[in-house]
Structure 1
Amino acid sequence: MSLREQKKLETRRTISHVATRLFIDRGFDQVTIADVAQAARVAKMTVTNHFSRKEDLVFDIRTDFVDWPTNLVRAAPSSPAVVAVRDGFLTALGERSAMLGFAELPFIRMIRQSETLSSALTEMHLERERVLVAALLDRKPEPEMLSRTAGAHLTSVLRLLFEDVWDWTWADVPPEELVSRVRKSAGLAFAQLEPAIGTL
């Protein structure tokens, strides 16, 4: 990565971080792009050049989030998709990764209290499914429905586990217990999927 690209990435991260703090403190709907620009000490156009939508300021990891299960599948071409996603999930669980929904309670509260942000998160989960289905179709183009249902099932499990992480964080479940609960739920969910999806 060139120095210029590094600087652009640092600027983007700074803007996202500053914006998220403002949204948490004041509420998403109460903060304008101009407020973000002023707090981040950049021009308003700089903010809009990096983020086409206001909600993108919060979901700066959108691309990573959407592509995550697909990257797991592509990184393990000889493994069944369900095994690749399960193993990747358990590794990420040990890291308490944001890909699984791990976040501080104020961040979760901010999103749940905003219809715009909640809708954007739903879009991200749906996009996750579309991208994964496309990758599974590359593996097995026919019958198409097999890859479509496999992708839908896998991403549905990821979404349900994501919601569990948020619900238990909201309920102030201790971190170690939360991880233990998620690991148990994931084991049950993926065990159900393996016979259904098979070796795809």
Structure 2
Amino acid sequence: MGLRERKKRETRQRIADVAMGLFAARGFDDVTVAEVARAADVSVNTVFNYFPAKEDLFLDRRDWAEGRPEEVVRQREPGESVVRAFRRDVLDAIATRSWRYGFNEGSDVFTGMVRESPTLLARVREFHVEREEALAAALARESGAGGDDVTPRVVAAQILGATRALSDYAVRRMLAGEAWSSIEPALKEQTERAFDLLEHGLGG
């Protein structure tokens, strides 16, 4: 990466970090883009050059997070099904407390800010739809499914619905003040159960 590109990435990250600090301290709806710009020592136009909307300051990792499910599909091991690949990825995220499924320290604070802001709540719901559509498109390409085949959309909805349920479960217990040491074993058990259902069917 060249110097110019590196500086642009550093500027983007600094703006996002400053914005998140302000949002955490005062709430998303009570912070303006102009205040973020002043705190980051840049112009308002510079902020909008990197982040088209205020919500994008909060969801600064959105592009990576949206593309992550497709990456899981693309990087699965030889002979590994999509469901097994996601099971492995979620269990790895639990073990490493990765933010990609909301298992990181601070995800309870993040969730609290989203719940307090109707604007953010709407944007996050929109993000989940976009993520599901991106995964469905990836599955359709992988399987060669035709445009009238609903299978990729059904699979994408079920897999990402399961990961959201697991994330909600973990965050709910974090918000209740439980230590990760007590959450982790139960979360692993819930993950295995959820992916067993996906792998073997919901008929029971």
How high is the TM-score relative to the length of structure 2?
A: 0.91
Partners of 2:90 and 2:16 in 1: CA distance: 26
Structure 2 gaps of 5+ residues are none
Partners of 1:78 and 1:43 in 2: CA distance: 51
Q: How many residues align?
A: 197
What is aligned with 1:188? 193
Match 1:161 to one of 151, 166, 181: 166
TM-superposed deviation, 1:107: 2.7
Structure 1 gaps of 5+ residues are none
- The question of 1:22 aligning with 2:31 is answered no
- Is the contact made by 1:161 and 1:182 (CA closer than 8 Å) also made in structure 2? yes
What is aligned with 2:91? 90
What is the identity, as a one-letter code, of the residue corresponding to 1:137?
A: A
**Percent sequence identity over matched residues?**
37
Deviates more, 1:108-117 or 1:38-47: 108-117
What is aligned with 2:31? 31
- Is the contact made by 1:100 and 1:162 (CA closer than 8 Å) also made in structure 2? yes
- Is the contact made by 1:125 and 1:159 (CA closer than 8 Å) also made in structure 2? no
Partners of 1:157 and 1:188 in 2: CA distance: 10
- Is the contact made by 1:23 and 1:31 (CA closer than 8 Å) also made in structure 2? yes
TM-superposed deviation, 1:121: 1.5
Partners of 1:123 and 1:112 in 2: CA distance: 14
What is the identity, as a one-letter code, of the residue corresponding to 2:170?
A: V
Match 2:124 to one of 112, 121, 125: 121
Q: CA RMSD in A?
A: 1.6
Partners of 2:82 and 2:98 in 1: CA distance: 20
| Secondary structure in 2 matching 1:47 | helix
- Is the contact made by 1:86 and 1:190 (CA closer than 8 Å) also made in structure 2? yes
How high is the TM-score relative to the length of structure 1?
A: 0.93
Partners of 2:73 and 2:143 in 1: CA distance: 13
TM-superposed deviation, 1:157: 0.4
Task: Detail structure 1 runs of 4+ shifted over 4 Å in the superposition.
Answer: none
